[in-house]
Amino acid sequence: MISLKINGRTYSVQAPDDMPLLWVLRDLLNLKGTKFGCGIAQCGACTVHVDGRPVRSCMLSAANVGSREVTTIEAIGQKESGRRIQQAWLDLEVVQCGYCQSGQIMSAAALVERNPSPDDAEIDAAMAGNICRCATYARIRAAIKSASRT
């Protein structure tokens, strides 16, 4: 049994030792907002927060999370930073197909949490691990700036 603290709740799951947090979230806990994109930490679609830091859940085994707090896209709106990012995403109409956007929003929320007004270079550095095949990058940059102003 693995015990996990996710979005403020504690879950116990029966999972193989090497099972990535991504698949525990999606297939055992039915938290499907976190997405599978590449499986090798190349695309960022699976980004969640572990103790507030953005982490690629496809490469982190659930067994190694330990007592750290996991936050997923389903709960990020309960944090002020997450709520502001989600609102900016809608206000600037960032989203196209949307499949990458859970991961984008998680990376962006982590960024503004530790750096309330990032410049272009800081945004690029924090967001370069998140691929968007619809290439919504210009609006992602603008939305992060708009969220950090509000």
Partner 1 sequence: MTGHLSISRRKLIVGGLMVAFACSTRARSATSKATGPSTIGGFVRISQEGGISLVMPSVEMGQGVYTAEAALLAEELDVRLDQIAAIAAPPDASLYAQPLFKAQMTGGSTSIRGFWTPLRQAGAAARSMLVAAAAQAWGVHPDECSTKDGTVLHSSTGRVLRYGEVAELAATLPMSEHPKLKSPGDFRIIGKSQRRIDTPVKVNGSAVYGIDVAVDGMKTAAVVISPVDGGKVKSVDETDARKIPGVIDVLHIGDAVAVVGEHYWAARAGVEALNVDWDLGPNAKLTTASIRAEVAKAADEGTPLKALEHGDVEARLRSAAKRLTAEYELPFLAHATMEPINTTVHVRPDGCDIWVGTQTPVVAQKHAARITGLPVDKVTLHNHLIGGGFGRRLQADTIEQAVRFAKQVPYPLKIIWTREQDIRHDRFRPCYLDRLAAGLDEQGRPSVWTHRTTSGTVRRYFDEDGWPDGKLDKDAVDGAWDSPYAFPAIRVDWIRHDPPVKLNWWRGVGPTHNVFVVESFLDELAHTAGQDPITYRRSLLDANPRARAVLDKVADAAGWNMPSEPRTGRGVSLHQNFGTYAALVVEVAVAPSGEISLKKIVAAVDCGIQINPDIVRAQIEGGVLFGLSAALFNGITFDEGRVQQGNFNDYRQLRINETPPIEVHLLNSGERPGGLGEVGTVSAAPALGNAIFAATGVRIRRLPIDRKLLSKRESS
DSSP-assigned states of every residue in 80-142: HHHHHHHHHHHHTT--SS-TTHHHHHHHHHHHHHH-SS--HHHHHHHHTT---TT--HHHHHH
Q: Choose the contact partner of 81 out of ligand FES, partner 1, none; CB within 5 to 8 A by kind.
A: none
Strands 2-6 and 69-71: parallel
- The CB-of-108 to ligand FES minimum distance in angstroms stands at 13
Q: Compare residues 81 and 136 and give the one whose CB is closer to ligand FES.
A: 136
Q: Which residues bind partner 1 (CB under 8 A)?
A: 15-16, 18-20, 23, 26-28, 30-40, 42-43, 45, 72-74, 77, 86, 89-90, 93, 95-102, 105, 123-125, 127-128, 130-141
Smallest distance from ligand FES to CB 60, Å:
9
User: Of partner 1, ligand FES, none, which one does residue 105 interact with (CB within 5 to 8 Å by kind)?
Assistant: partner 1
Distance CA 31, CA 97 (A): 19
